Amino acid sequence: MLFVYFRLGPACYALESREIVEIVPLVDCRPLPRAPAFVAGLFDYRGRVVPVIDLSEMSGQGAARRLMSTRIILVDYPDRLGRGQVLGLMAERVLDAAGHETPDLQSAGIAIPDAPYLGAVLHERSGTVQLVKVSELLTGPVQELLFPAGEAGS
Residue 1 has pLDDT above 80, yes or no: no
Beta bridge partners of 123: 128
pLDDT-derived band at 81, boundaries 50, 70, 90: confident
Is 105 within a domain?
yes
Domain that holds residue 89: 2-146
Find out whether 111 and 133 touch, Cβ atoms under 8 Å. no
- Number of domain units in the chain: 1
Is 63 within a domain?
yes
CA distance 52 to 54: 7
Find out whether 64 and 54 touch, Cβ atoms under 8 Å. yes
Is 19 within a domain?
yes
Is 96 within a domain?
yes
CATH code at position 107? 2.40.50.180
Residue range 92-119, pLDDT digits in tens = 888 777 776 665 777 777 778 888 888 8
Burial bucket for residue 102 (CB in 10 Å: 0-12, 13-18, 19+):
exposed
For residue 101, what pLDDT is reported?
A: 63
**Chain centroid to CA 60: how far?**
14
Is 153 within a domain?
no
Is 25 within a domain?
yes
What average pLDDT does the chain have? 86
Is 152 within a domain?
no
Helix (H) or strand (E) holding 141: helix 140-146
Entry pTM:
0.88
By C-alpha distance, which of 150, 21, 20, 29 is closest to 79?
Answer: 150
* DSSP secondary structure letters along 31-72: --TTS-TTEEEEEEETTEEEEEEEHHHHTTS-SPP--TT-EE
Is 151 within a domain?
no
Average pLDDT over residues 27-39: 93
